[in-house]
Structure 1
Amino acid sequence: MLYKKTLKMVQVEEIITELDSFHYNDGDWLPLDRLIIKLWNTGKPEVAIQSLFKIFEKYPTEDGAGVFWTILHGIESLNYEKELYDSLIRKPSYMVVIMLNRIENSNSKTIAGKSIAKFKELLRNHSKINSELLDYLN
């Protein structure tokens, strides 16, 4: 049993390395989609949560031709609010702003113990925010 867990962690670490070095070519997001499927098949996707958010940060105005929605739905099945908050602080992105709005629309007033309304105000003035994202922060 210990061997299987170790093997799974090696697989997850390899997937994390691939996620961290991922670059799409000519709009082809299928390699990323395959990585996400492999990650979830390990049963340990939470280990790669920071790498998943960094994909959003690397492509802040993209939706990955639908692949990012798969990532979003997967992340939402995990304990993710602290990583979401940290991602928005590092570099606001379309998908992570969408996630913040989804939390707010569920009648939650806070994220990672912080006021969503105050956090959105901070994000509107963030030095790394793409102007295209400002409309999503209302």
Structure 2
Amino acid sequence: MVENNLRFRDDAAHDEPAVTLDSFLGQSNATAVRIEAGEDARALLPHIERLALVEVSFPTFRDGRGYSAASVLREAGYTGELRAHGDVLIDQIPLMRRCGFDSFAPNAPVDEVALERALARYDHVYQAKADGRTPVWRLRHG
């Protein structure tokens, strides 16, 4: 079994606890923030230079709003750690990585073999996203 915190980054893990979005916006020294489902990630855009960690809550695996939050932040140039936290299932991790998540804190333990299988499942992608993979159409047509 893999421990509950999965990281796909080379830098050191960020140890500062994440504060709520309201708390973050009300202070100037926090470098880690937690976005709950339904909160607008665009509120962080003026502050992305000082952020080291954005933790996005997934209260249930059926709630896809966190994918949009990740895409908004990565498309705006956020390069810090982006962690999916909560009800994260193994088969969602490859799609979350495509949106820009590079760290995961699932509620349940993750089986290492199943995770490796999920990450290797698709050889090709169709859209350009935050993970930098080249879409199959570009491979074929330059």
Please report the TM-score for the alignment, with normalisation by the length of structure 2. Answer: 0.35
Question: Which structure has more strand as a fraction of its residues?
Answer: 2
Question: Which structure has more helix as a fraction of its residues?
Answer: 1
Please report the TM-score for the alignment, with normalisation by the length of structure 1. Answer: 0.36
